[in-house]
C-alpha cells in the first residue's frame, strides 16, 4: 500500500511538473494554446452517463457527411460575421463522436433506404429496401413475408413509449419510412407504385396509417400529401393525389380522432396536449427548401412540436428527425440551398437540446451518407463557402482581396462536385461531350440558384460511400467511439433504452 501511495504522489508530482513546464513554454500565452489546454481539461473531466435513457432523439441530415457538415459549419460561422472555420455547430459541441461506415450489404455506395433501416433495426440491408432482411431480392414483393425486421419504434412503443417522425422530405420517403415501414422497394410510397399482384406488403403510406392506428406512431410531420389522397381528389393546394385504391388516408386518420395540419396556420392550431395522433403533410411532395420556405413550419418548429407532444408520456419517447432536403440540394449541385437547409438542421438540434435534459435524453446526430462534394484550395480564411476561393494573405488572417485563378485564367468556387448537372462538359450535336469552364464572379456564384461546377455529366449528382460522423450526448453516448458500422447506432439506442438506473 505504501508503495502504491508513493507511486500516486510521484505521478502527481510529474503531472504538476508537466503543467509548470507547459506554462514556461514560449507559446503558453497564445490563445490557440489556451484553447487546447481548455479542451484537454474538459475531456479529462468527462464522466460517462450510464443512466437509462427515457428519451431518444435520432437526428439525420440526409446527405450531410463530413464534407457537407464542414461546409455548413463555415456558412453558419460566416453568417455570424466570423471567418467561419472557428465556428462550432451545436452537434460539434457534443462530448462523444465516432465515424460511421455507410456501405450496405450490396452497395459500396448506399442510398437512404437501407441506411435508415440499419439505424432502426440493427441490421445492414440492401440498397433500395427498407427493414427487410438482405436475403430478399430488391423489388420481390412476395419474398418479404417472414423476412420483415422489427423496428426500434415498434420495440419501444410496445414498452409504453411514444414515437414521432419528422422530415422536410415526404414522410413516406426513405429515411422517415425507416421508422415505421417494411418494403422491398423504397419507391412504393402509394399503391399506384406497387407491382401488379403485390399483396404480401402494403404501400408505405398505408403502412404509416396502420402504425398510427396500432399506436406505434403518435406524430408524423413532413411532406408527401399526394401519397395519402386518391387520384381524383385534390389536396388543399390544388394538387391531385396518387392513390388508385380510392383511399383517403388523411380522412381515415381523422376518423381515428387524429389531428391534421397542412400549412403553418393549421400547424400552429394543433392541440399538442391531446392524446390523439397528429399528422402534418405540408406539401404534395417534399417540403420547401429553407431558402424558399413560406407558409409552412421550419424543421426546428416541427421538432419543438413533436417534443412537446411526445413529452406528455411519462414513459418517454423515441423521435426520429430528418433534414431531408440537404440531400436534394446536393443532388442538384446547388450549394446555396444545401447550406441553408444544413443551418436549419443545426437550429433544430440546438432547440431539441434546449428542450430536453442530458440526464435522461440521448441525442444522436448523424447522416445516412455523403455526396460527391469536394472543396477547392488553397483558399484563405474567410473565403465565402458559397463563393469564390480567395488567396491566402501572408500578412494577416483574412483572405487576400484577389480570388485564386486556375490555369485557364478563371476563378473557381470553394465548393465543387465530382459529377452532376453543373458539369463543364456539354453534349454536342454529334453526341460527344466537350466544353470549357464558363467565366464566373462573386455575384454569379453567390446567387441561391447557382449550380456549382462539376466534372462528370449526370442529370443528378450522386451519393458517395465515404464515412459520416455521429455526434452524441446523454445516457450511454460514450459508446460512440472509433469507427463503427452504421447498424451499430440501433444497438446503442436499444442498450440505452433498456439499461441503467
Q: Which residues are catalytic?
A: 112
- Element housing 169 (H / E): strand 162-170
Whole-angstrom CA distances from 108 to 115, 129, 164, 268, 482 are: 12, 15, 31, 43, 20
227, 242 contact by CB (below 8 A)? yes
Q: What is the CA radius of gyration of the chain?
A: 25
160: region left, alpha or beta (phi > 0 left; psi from -120 to 50 alpha): left
Contact 421, 461 (CB under 8 A): yes
The DSSP line for 96-108 is EEEEEE---SS-S
CB 220 within 8 A of CB 306: no
Cβ-proximal residues to 314 (8 Å cutoff; 6+ apart), any chain: none
Residue among 187, 192, 159, 157 at smallest CA distance from 173: 187
Sheet harboring 373-375: ordered strands across? 373-375, 415-420, 454-457
Length of the chain: 501
32 Cα distance to chain centroid: 31
Name the grid cell of 236.
Answer: 388543399
**In 10 A of CB 317, how many CB atoms?**
25
Amino acid at each position: 500500500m505504501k508503495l502504491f501511495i508513493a507511486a500516486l504522489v510521484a505521478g502527481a508530482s510529474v503531472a504538476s511538473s508537466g503543467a509548470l513546464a507547459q506554462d514556461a513554454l514560449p507559446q503558453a500565452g497564445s490563445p490557440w494554446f489556451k484553447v487546447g489546454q481548455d479542451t484537454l481539461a474538459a475531456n479529462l473531466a468527462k464522466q460517462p452517463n450510464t443512466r437509462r435513457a427515457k428519451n431518444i432523439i435520432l437526428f439525420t441530415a440526409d446527405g450531410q457527411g463530413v464534407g457537407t457538415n464542414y461546409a455548413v459549419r463555415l456558412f453558419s460561422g460566416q453568417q455570424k460575421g466570423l471567418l467561419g472555420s472557428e465556428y462550432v455547430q451545436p452537434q460539434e459541441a457534443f462530448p462523444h463522436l465516432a465515424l460511421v461506415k455507410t456501405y450496405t450489404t450490396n452497395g459500396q455506395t448506399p442510398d437512404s433506404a437501407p441506411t435508415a433501416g440499419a439505424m432502426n433495426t440493427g441490421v445492414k440491408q440492401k440498397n433500395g429496401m427498407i427493414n427487410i432482411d438482405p436475403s430478399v431480392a430488391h423489388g420481390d414483393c412476395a419474398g418479404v413475408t417472414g423476412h420483415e425486421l422489427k423496428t426500434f419504434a415498434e420495440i419501444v412503443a410496445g414498452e409504453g413509449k411514444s414515437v414521432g417522425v419528422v422530415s422536410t422530405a415526404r414522410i413516406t420517403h426513405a429515411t422517415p419510412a425507416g421508422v415505421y415501414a417494411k418494403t422491398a422497394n423504397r419507391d412504393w410510397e402509394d399503391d399506384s407504385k406497387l407491382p401488379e399482384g403485390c399483396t404480401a406488403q402494403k404501400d408505405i403510406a398505408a403502412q404509416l396509417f396502420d402504425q398510427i392506428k396500432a399506436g406505434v406512431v403518435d406524430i408524423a410531420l413532413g411532406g408527401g400529401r399526394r401519397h395519402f389522397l386518391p387520384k381524383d381528389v385534390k389536396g388543399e393546394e390544388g394538387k391531385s393525389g396518387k392513390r388508385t385504391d380510392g383511399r383517403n388516408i388523411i380522412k381515415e386518420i381523422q376518423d381515428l380522432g387524429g389531428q391534421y395540419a397542412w400549412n403553418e396556420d393549421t400547424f400552429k392550431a394543433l392541440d399538442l396536449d391531446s392524446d390523439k395522433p397528429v399528422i402534418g403533410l405540408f406539401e404534395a411532395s417534399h417540403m420547401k427548401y429553407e431558402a424558399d420556405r413560406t407558409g409552412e413550419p421550419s424543421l426546428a418548429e416541427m421538432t419543438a412540436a413533436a417534443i412537446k407532444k411526445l413529452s406528455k408520456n411519462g414513459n418517454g419517447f423515441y423521435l426520429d428527425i430528418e433534414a431531408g432536403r440537404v440531400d436534394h440540394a446536393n443532388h442538384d449541385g446547388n450549394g446555396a440551398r444545401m447550406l441553408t437547409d444544413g443551418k436549419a438542421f443545426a437550429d433544430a438540434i440546438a432547440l431539441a437540446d434546449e428542450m430536453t435534459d442530458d440526464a435522461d435524453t440521448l441525442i444522436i446526430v448523424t447522416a445516412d451518407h455523403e455526396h460527391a462534394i469536394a472543396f477547392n484550395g488553397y483558399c484563405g480564411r474567410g473565403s465565402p463557402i458559397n463563393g469564390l476561393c480567395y488567396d491566402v494573405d501572408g500578412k494577416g488572417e483574412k483572405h487576400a482581396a484577389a480570388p485564386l485563378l486556375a490555369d485557364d485564367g478563371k476563378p473557381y468556387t470553394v465548393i465543387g462536385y465530382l459529377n452532376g448537372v453543373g458539369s463543364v462538359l456539354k453534349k454536342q450535336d454529334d453526341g460527344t461531350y466537350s466544353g470549357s469552364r464558363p467565366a464566373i464572379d462573386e455575384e454569379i456564384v453567390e446567387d441561391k440558384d447557382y449550380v456549382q461546377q462539376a466534372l462528370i455529366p449526370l442529370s443528378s449528382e450522386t451519393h458517395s460511400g465515404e464515412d459520416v460522423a455521429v455526434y452524441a450526448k446523454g445516457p450511454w453516448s460514450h459508446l460512440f467511439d472509433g469507427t463503427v458500422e452504421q447498424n451499430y447506432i440501433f444497438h446503442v439506442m436499444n442498450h440505452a433504452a433498456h439499461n441503467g438506473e
